[in-house]
């Protein structure tokens, strides 16, 4: 399998692709939905809530944290996670711009 040459694409295209990857796994979608539902930081019940093993949950949290869609704070021996609302809003702006490309287009077929 060849390497993806991200430098051939615009910053915006790369950013949209990274956001799309975040939603490319149902576990990450479930984590985000749960964080919005509880509207507070969660420290340890994601394993019970999502139903996956702790290492799997940790990997998905890492992906979301790398995109700054969630943020974590250390409390004792655990890390508590919540939605990074400023970055969530910024992501929505980027994705809305992309998804609204069809607003001014004409029908071609």
Mean pLDDT confidence for 6-18: 91
What are the residue ranges spanned by the domains of the chain? 12-96
For 78, residues 6+ apart whose C-beta sits below 8 A from its C-beta are 43, 44
Provide the β-strand partners of residue 80. Answer: 73
- pLDDT score of 2 more than 60: no
Q: Residue 85 corresponds to which tokens in the numbers above?
A: 């609302």
68-103 burial, b if ≥16 CB within 10 A, otherwise e? ebbbbeeeeeebebbbbeeebeebeeeeeeeeeeee
Report yes or no on whether pTM surpasses 0.95. Answer: no
With tokens 């974590």, the residue in question is 72
- Tell me what pLDDT residue 1 has: 44
| Contacts (Cβ under 8 Å, ≥6 apart) of 19 | 67, 91, 94, 95
Out of 1.10.10.10, 3.40.50.1450, 3.10.129.10, 2.40.420.20, the CATH code matching 12-96 is 1.10.10.10
Lowest-pLDDT choice from 47-56, 59-68, 72-81? 72-81
Assess contact for 12 and 47: CB atoms under 8 A.
Answer: no
């Amino acid at each position: 399998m060849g390497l993806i040459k991200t430098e051939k694409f615009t910053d915006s295209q790369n950013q949209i692709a990274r956001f799309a990857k975040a939603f490319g796994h149902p576990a990450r979608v479930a984590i985000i939905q749960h964080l919005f539902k509880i509207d507070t930081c969660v420290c340890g019940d994601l394993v019970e809530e999502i139903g996956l093993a702790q290492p799997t949950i940790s990997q998905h949290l890492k992906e979301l944290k790398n995109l700054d869609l969630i943020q974590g704070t250390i409390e004792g021996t655990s890390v508590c996670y919540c939605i990074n609302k400023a970055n969530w809003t910024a992501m929505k702006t980027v994705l809305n711009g992309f998804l609204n490309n069809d607003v001014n287009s004409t029908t071609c077929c």
